[in-house]
Structures are given as C-alpha cells and as structure tokens.
Amino acid sequence: MGDSQASFSDDIIALELFTVLFLLPADVAGLLLAFRGLIWNTVIRRS
C-alpha cells in the first residue's frame, strides 16, 4: 500500500512541475500583455 501511495504522490509532483514549467511562462506572458494593455489604455486616455 505504502509504495503505491508514494508513486502516486510522485506522479502528482511530476504533474505539478510540468504544469509550472510549461503553463507558468504562458501565464506570465498573458499577465504582461494584459498589464501592457492597461498601460496603453491609460496613456491613450491621458493624451
């Protein structure tokens, strides 16, 4: 029982690492694009 539980948690850790490594850059890029959009909106409104 304990061994299967350990391998299961290892799979979850691997999945989390995969998610962080591959999805986080996309999330950061999306946030930067959204932030840039907000900055552009404020700049255009002020001018």
Kindly compute the dihedral angle of the four CA atoms of residues 20, 24, 25, 29, in this order, to the nearest 10 degrees.
180
Q: What confidence score (pLDDT) does residue 33 get?
A: 94
Q: What confidence score (pLDDT) does residue 40 get?
A: 92
Please report where in the chains the tokens 């989390």 appear, as a residue.
16
pLDDT in tens, 8-37: 788 888 999 988 888 888 888 899 999 999
Q: What confidence score (pLDDT) does residue 46 get?
A: 83
